[in-house]
Each structure stands twice: as structure tokens, then as C-alpha cells.
Amino acid sequence: MAVEEEGLRVFQSVKIKIGEAKNLPTYPGPNKMRDCYCTVNLDQEEVFRTQIVEKSLCPFYGEDFYCEIPRSFRHLSFYIFDRDVFRRDSIIGKVAIRKEDLHKYHNRDTWFQLQHVDADSEVQGKVHLALRLSEVITDSGVVCHKLATRILECQGLPIVNGQCDPYATVTLAGPCRSEAKKTKVKKKTNNPQFDEVFYFEVTRPCSYNRKSHFDFEDEDVDKLEIRVDLWNASNLKFGDEFLGELRVPLKVLRQSSPHEAWYFLQPRDNGSKSLKPEDLGSLRLNVVYTEDHVFPSDYYSALRDLLLRSADVEPVSASAAHILGEVCREKQEAAVPLVRLFLHYGRVVPFISAIASAEVRRTQDPNTIFRGNSLTSKCIDETMKLAGMHYLHVTLKPTIEEICQSHKSCEIDPVRLKDGESLESNTENLRQYVDRVFSVITASGLSCPTVMCDIFFSLREAAAKRFQDDLDVRYTAVSSFIFLRFFAPAILSPNLFQLTPHHTDPQTSRTLTLVSKTIQTLGSLSKSKSASFKESYMAAFYEFFNEQKYADAVKNFLDLISSSGRRDPKSVQQPILLKEGFMIKRAQGRKRFGIKNFKKRWFRLTNHEFTYQKSKGDPPLYSIPIENILAVEPLEEESFKMKNMFQVIQPERALYIQANNCVEAKAWIDILTKVSQCNQKRLAVYHPSAYLNGHWLCCRASSDTAAGCSPCTSGLPANIQLDINGDRETERIYSLFSSYMSKLEKMQEACGSRSVYDGPEREEYSTFVIDDPQETYKTLKQVIAGVGALELEHAQHRRDKFKRTKYGSQEHPIGDKSFQSYIRQQSETPAHSM
């Protein structure tokens, strides 16, 4: 989901590594230790939570989190909580990074001091305010001035303890006066529509003269201000909660009367300052925030077509995609957008086949084939990660869950054995786990995605052709990816592949490490397997598997997944678990009588059906076959005064569901839409609001079967495994080319040097792979021209945006520091600058 700007779409994403906290304050009790967890918040909306680390003041989390951000935000915040069994969990401190400052910490480990948290500093949202100075004639005929202050509405106020019943106080304040008035309370909404006007006397009648009836005395103007405070009406004994304030000096009316603008709410200055930041400890984070500004598709035609022709260029090293891999500092940088682009347009197999064949021709030793971090290796890794994730889950998740839940000891290192543990028992536990994992992997060949099989076939053929005397190279070329880079890492770190929600406990992690090592060696088909282990206990353990049947099973599996033209009907027919989790649903009204209340349920989506039950593992209470899903769309908040709601529309009725946060709501809408995209009876229009009290809230139609009043969201790719925007990936590739422009120019120089000079080349040119200087130079010239054209379009868009954007608008309220920074940058940029 993108944030729309005029003429383009803005995609936001964030990848976070939550490392560890240190030097947290001690618990005020005899234990002194704490049970802490960390949350990730967009402003104050929680979107992720780590597991709890018990009894530590320096908890290590080691958790990764990635999400697409579906809305605008001001702060990316991290809160450290201390779990309390009997009361509400208490906040120890927070780290709040302003959106405009995220680039300062891009992709580097940073220690942040935890800041104190109190109600006066926890603010979010914006207010629409209008001020007008008017002449009023009193009963005695004397003219005086009165200020009309109109509170129109607020947006994005925080939800406090699960509810938001806001009201505003409006105060005219000065050195010698303070007059306050109050709006009505708006129930159950964080986007209240007030539209109330309050009048204040600003000047006394005697200060009036005809020549300058709006030029009232300086002391009145310069020292008076309107202050608007937002509060949450609370029934708790502690009183109403402060939500934020704004202050507007009346001298703004000198420039424009009336004055109307949106303002960001700000914290009060009198927040608690009793604790110094260093008293609360610190948190180590690595944050990668990405913002892609994407034009309509036709803007990218030239660069996109040049990239998609890469597989057909001879030699492939002269292609645009290969050149991107040459100029990027890390091959991974280039591989991610390239693979996603080629997958989107169905060109990933010919491209990877071309670069793999070229790499094999340059390889001298069959034992080192595909072992380096080349562009080929990184592209295949990324393809397996994207296309093979569901295959990985179907194959490994049940066994990984069993290992995590059974918690059997599998330590076989005699030095690490705990008191009371038996080496023989542990060895048998580990052997059973390895057998289970090995069996499910080698039996999964028919489920391997077609795109992976086609790539493996091309690797096998290229390796066998290059090293005709080595009969095993056709297997090792494939096993180096499917075992070494796919199954083994997933077993070792299941949380990174969404096989577990968090990283595993130390004992389970050790078990998975031993299983992963053994599986990796079994899959490698190396000549001397026991010698491949540094540890003697691993070499001894491996003797259990030193039988021909294991090697035969591996070879049969590798033969199956690298066969040409293999297509698997079963991979479509078997149920694949796509997503599951708790959400809140509204009763659908299937019974004629009864209250349509809201209940928490465990939802489960496969490629066959969408179900819910009371708890995980219970029998389903209700099931919607995928073919019965007619549309999946957001539900307007005003329907039930609840955020993050969406609707699954069926032939008879709609199922209304509330997700935990905006990120989860987007994820559910996307996956449900994708899995039902091919349904023949999908709707073209829908109702964005609910049917309540005998009519649709959106269009007021009285019939519950009335046709929808808004167009459904445009279609997404039907492939349930992939959600790729080709224009966004091309924009990312353009950004990479642009940032490495100096290297592109250096590569052009290298092509020219090689074309006219056969002697030893300059050292700075030797890092580039250039097989055909003339063909490479021609492609480089086209790349630089395409990048330059897009650079001009971006520059023009920035200038146009600068001209039409108004500070104080709903999109850029007063107090928007990121916009102030943008204005400053634009004012310093020459008009002709790109």
C-alpha cells in the first residue's frame, strides 16, 4: 500500500534489527532483575513485540522485523517494558527517532539512550484550526474587536488504554489574562469532528480608531496567544489524559485574517525531567528505512526494457543487469531488486541461467562451483527466498515446531553435558530429529516450486557440460543451494524464515545448530564427510548416517528437483498455510436473533479456505471457501468507531474483522486479495462502510443487497507467493545506478582503455568483468542516458511539489519538521539543478 502524492506513489518500508539493551535500572525489590520486552511503534501504534527476556538488566533480543508502512508517520519509536504479572506492564523508557532523522542511522548498529516516558511527552495527531478577528458593535454603539476561534477537527489522536473520548480546551492566554473554554466530548473516535466556535474579546473599545482598526496595540498582539489542549475524557480516578497541545500567537493575524491551518500537536514543556537519560540504560538498534518515489509505469519503459533484455545480451557481462552487479558495493544490493523485477515479468530463469553459465565457464575447480558471493549466488538465494517460502514452510514447519515444543536435550559434546544428562539418550534424540528432518526434505521434491526447479536444471546442465569428468558435479551444483543456502540456514535460524515467531531459547537453538550441521553435510555429498567436521563428537555422530541409502536419497531428491519440464499438480492441490493469528471479528448475523457483538478469534488462511476458531488448534467455528471471497477491502473507521478494520465480502454477507495494527491489517488484506484474485465472481464495486440501522452508512441505500458505491481496489498479482511492484523495483535499480554513477563512468573508461590498449591495465579497472568492451560500452551509454532522464523527471517533480505545497495544509501541518527541512533544501537548490 502506497501513500499517494500528486503524480507518483510513495512506498515506505523499514527493516529493523533489535539487538540488546544494557544497564537498565534495577527493580525496586529484593530480586532487582527485570523481565523485559521491546516493542516497535509507528508513533504510538504498536506493530511488533519481541519475546520476553527474563531476569536480566542487559537483555539480548537479537530479533529482526520488516514491514511495509501503509500510512504516514512522524516517529519510529521503541519502548522497553517490564512485565508485571499482577498489574499492567510498566514502561522503563523509549527511543523515538523522527522520520526525517532515520537516514542518519541507516544500516548501522547504533546505541540509543532510553528516554523517560510520561503523558505530557507522548503526543501524536493534528488539529484543524481557524482564527478570525471581527469588529463587534456593543450595545452602547462602541466598536471593539473579538476573536473567533473555530476548532474544526482532529486526526490521528492516540488511543489511550484501548479508548479515545477526546475533547479540547481553548485558552486565550497573556501576561495578565487566561480565559478558557471547552468543546463537547466526542465518544469512541480518534478523528473527532468538533466544528465548534469560541469567542474572546481581544481589544477594549477605547483602543479603537478608524485609521487602523486591525492594528491593535503591540502589547496585546505580541503577548497574547491561543492555546488548544486535547484531552481524553477518562473515568479513571487519575483524571483525564493529556493528548497534546498547540500554541498560536495572535500576531499571525497581522499576515492574514482570517487564518486557517492544520497544526501538529506538540508536547508540553513541563514534562517530567527528574530522570537523566543515562539513568535508564540504552538500546542497540539497526534501522534501514526506505522510501521509494515511484512514477507511473511509462516513465520507466526505457530502463526497464534495457534490464529485461539482459538475458539475451551476448556476452551477458555486457548486459545492464550484470553491470549493476559490477558497480554495486555489495552483490546483494543488486540481486534483490533485479530478482524481484525479473520474477514479476517472468524472466528470472533465463537471466539466472545466463549469468550462471558465464560463471561456470570462469570456474576452474569443480569443488568451488557457486561457493563465492557472486551475483549468480545472491540472485539464486533471493529467488529461493521469494518463490520458495511456502515450500519451506510446508516442508519444515511441523518438524521445527515439534523440536521447539518437545524441548528434548540433544547435546552430544561431552564438555557441554549438564549434570544428570545421558550422552546416549541425547545422541538418540538428535539422531531421531535429523532423521525426521532429512526424511521430510528428501520426500518434498514434488512440492519444490517450478521456478526453482527450472533454475536448478540450468545449473546442473551448465556444470555437467563444463566438468564432464566429474560425475558428481551435477549434484553438488544444485546441493550447494538447496541444502547449503536454503534448508540449512532455515533450520539454524527459523525465526528469520518465519518458521518461528521469535528466536529460539538457547537449548533449542543448540539442537537446531547440530541438526543443521548434519543436514548440510548429508546434502553436500562430499567424499570424506567425517573429515568435514572440526569437532570429533560431530564426526563420531555422523557415522550413524554414513550409509549408502542416505546418499541415494539425496541424489534422488536432487534429480527430481532439477529435472527439465517437471510440473507438480500436488503443489497446488495440497493446503498451504499462508497466514494465521488472533483478530477480532463481528458476529455476521447468521442467526435471526441475537446481539452482533465482537469476539476475539484465531484466524487461519490456506490456499483452500479462510477459517476462524476460538483458539489455535480448536476445530473451526466458520469456514469461507476461497472461491466464495468476492472482495477484501478496508472498512471505514466511522462504521464501528474502531481502527484497522477490513471486510471479507461473501455472497450472502460481509465478515467484519479488526486487526491488531495497521501493518497487520495491510498484510491480511493483501494476502486475502491475492489468494482470491482469480475468483470469477469478484466484485467491481463495494460498500466502504457497514450496513447498520437499516441502511448503508456510506451511500444511505436502504436495501442490504444494494450494489456497492465505491470501486474495488485494483487487482494484484494472482500468485500467492509474490507481491511485487515492477515499477517500484525499477525505481530502486535507478536509484542504485544513480548512487554509483561515478563507477559507471569509471567502467566506461575501462572499456575504452581495453579497446585501444592491450597491455597491462590500470589497477582501478581490474575489478570489472568486461568480456566485450564495445558491447559493454554501448550498454553503459544507454544506462547512463536512462538514469539521466529519470533524474530530470524527479527534479521536475520536486520543483512542482515545492511550488504547489502549502505549509499548514492537511498534508503538511505547521510543526512538520520534515517538511521544514524539505523547504530549506529546495530553497538552497538552484532552479536548473537536477
Q: In this model, does residue 794 exceed pLDDT 60? A: yes
Distance CA 32, CA 34 (A): 7
Q: In this model, does residue 594 exceed pLDDT 60? A: no
In the prediction, which pLDDT does 825 show?
A: 60
Q: Are residues 529 and 415 in the same domain?
A: yes
> How many CA atoms lie within 13 Å of 635's alpha carbon, on the beta-carbon side?
27
Give 275-328 pLDDT, tens digit per residue. 444 589 999 999 999 999 999 999 999 999 999 999 999 999 999 999 999 999
In the prediction, which pLDDT does 178 show?
A: 84
Helices (H) and strands (E) in the chain, counts: 21, 28
Q: Are residues 465 and 424 in the same domain?
A: yes
Least confident of 325-329, 440-444, 719-723, 802-806: 719-723
- 615 within some domain: yes
Give 556-569 pLDDT, tens digit per residue. 999 989 876 444 43
| Residue ending a domain, choose from 661, 691, 711 | 711
For the full predicted model, state whether its pTM sits above 0.85. Answer: no
Distance CA 670, CA 47 (A): 17
Q: Are residues 638 and 507 in the same domain?
A: no
In the prediction, which pLDDT does 44 show?
A: 84
CATH assignment of the domain containing 462: 1.10.506.10
Sequential DSSP letters for 361-430: HH---GGGTT-S--HHHHHHHHHHHHHSHHHHHHHHHHHHHHHHHH-------GGGPPTT--HHHHHHHH
Distance CA 590, CA 579 (A): 25
Distance CA 657, CA 446 (A): 36
- 814 within some domain: no
Q: Are residues 245 and 177 in the same domain?
A: yes
Distance CA 504, CA 638 (A): 41
Distance CA 320, CA 306 (A): 7
Q: Are residues 412 and 513 in the same domain?
A: yes
Distance CA 3, CA 12 (A): 8
Average of pLDDT values for 264-284?
Answer: 71
CATH assignment of the domain containing 600: 2.30.29.30
Residues 345-373 as b or e (16 or more Cβ within 10 Å = b):
eebbbebbbbbbbbbbeebeebeebbeee
Domain of 195 in residue numbering reads as 126-205+220-264
Domain tally, the chain: 4
CATH assignment of the domain containing 256: 2.60.40.150
Distance CA 663, CA 677 (A): 21
Distance CA 549, CA 57 (A): 51
- Confidence grade of residue 214 (pLDDT, cut at 50, 70, 90): very low
In the prediction, which pLDDT does 578 show?
A: 79
- 566 within some domain: no
Q: In this model, does residue 392 exceed pLDDT 90? A: yes
Q: Are residues 587 and 480 in the same domain?
A: no
Residue 178, strand partner residues: 173
Average of pLDDT values for 663-687?
Answer: 87
Give 727-747 pLDDT, tens digit per residue. 999 999 999 999 999 999 999
Average of pLDDT values for 148-171?
Answer: 88
Q: Are residues 186 and 137 in the same domain?
A: yes
In the prediction, which pLDDT does 217 show?
A: 45
Whether residue 434 contacts residue 518, with contact meaning beta carbons closer than 8 Å, is answered with yes
Average of pLDDT values for 209-221?
Answer: 46
Please measure the distance between the N-terminal and C-terminal CA atoms of the chain and give it in whole angstroms: 29
Q: In this model, does residue 673 exceed pLDDT 90? A: no
Average of pLDDT values for 607-613?
Answer: 91
Give 95-129 pLDDT, tens digit per residue. 999 998 999 999 999 999 999 887 666 788 899 99
Q: Are residues 391 and 493 in the same domain?
A: yes
Q: Are residues 626 and 698 in the same domain?
A: yes
- 305 within some domain: no
Sequential DSSP letters for 276-304: -GGGG-EEEEEEEEEEEEE--GGGGHHHH
Is residue 24 left, alpha or beta, with left meaning phi > 0 and alpha meaning psi from -120 to 50?
A: beta
Nearest 5°: phi and psi at 219?
-65, -30
Please tell me which residue, 758 or 598, carries the higher pLDDT value: 598
Q: In this model, does residue 222 exceed pLDDT 90? A: no
Least confident of 286-290, 454-458, 669-673: 669-673
Cell numbers for 362:
570462469
Distance CA 200, CA 172 (A): 7
Q: Are residues 638 and 666 in the same domain?
A: yes
In the prediction, which pLDDT does 450 show?
A: 87
Q: In this model, does residue 157 exceed pLDDT 50? A: yes
| Residue ending a domain, choose from 561, 587, 617 | 561
- 167 within some domain: yes
Q: What percent of the chain has pLDDT over 70?
A: 86
Q: Are residues 552 and 586 in the same domain?
A: no
In the prediction, which pLDDT does 251 show?
A: 83
Give 41-97 pLDDT, tens digit per residue. 998 889 999 999 999 999 999 999 999 998 888 899 999 999 987 788 889 999 999
Q: What is the DSSP letter of 620?
A: P
Q: In this model, does residue 212 exceed pLDDT 60? A: no
In the prediction, which pLDDT does 624 show?
A: 94
- 244 within some domain: yes
Please tell me which residue, 583 or 575, carries the higher pLDDT value: 583
CA distances for 535 relative to 180, 412, 421, 530, 542, angstroms = 76, 11, 20, 10, 11
Burial class of 596 by CB neighbour count within 10 A (0 to 12, 13 to 18, 19+): exposed
Give the other-Cβ count within 10 Å of 375's Cβ. Answer: 24
Give 404-418 pLDDT, tens digit per residue. 999 999 999 999 888
In the prediction, which pLDDT does 119 show?
A: 66
Q: Are residues 109 and 134 in the same domain?
A: no
- 764 within some domain: no
Average pLDDT over the chain reads 85
Cell numbers for 137:
458593535
Q: Which of 61-70, 520-529, 562-571, 823-832 has the highest mean pLDDT?
A: 61-70
- 320 within some domain: no
Give 695-731 pLDDT, tens digit per residue. 999 999 988 888 899 998 754 444 444 567 899 999 9
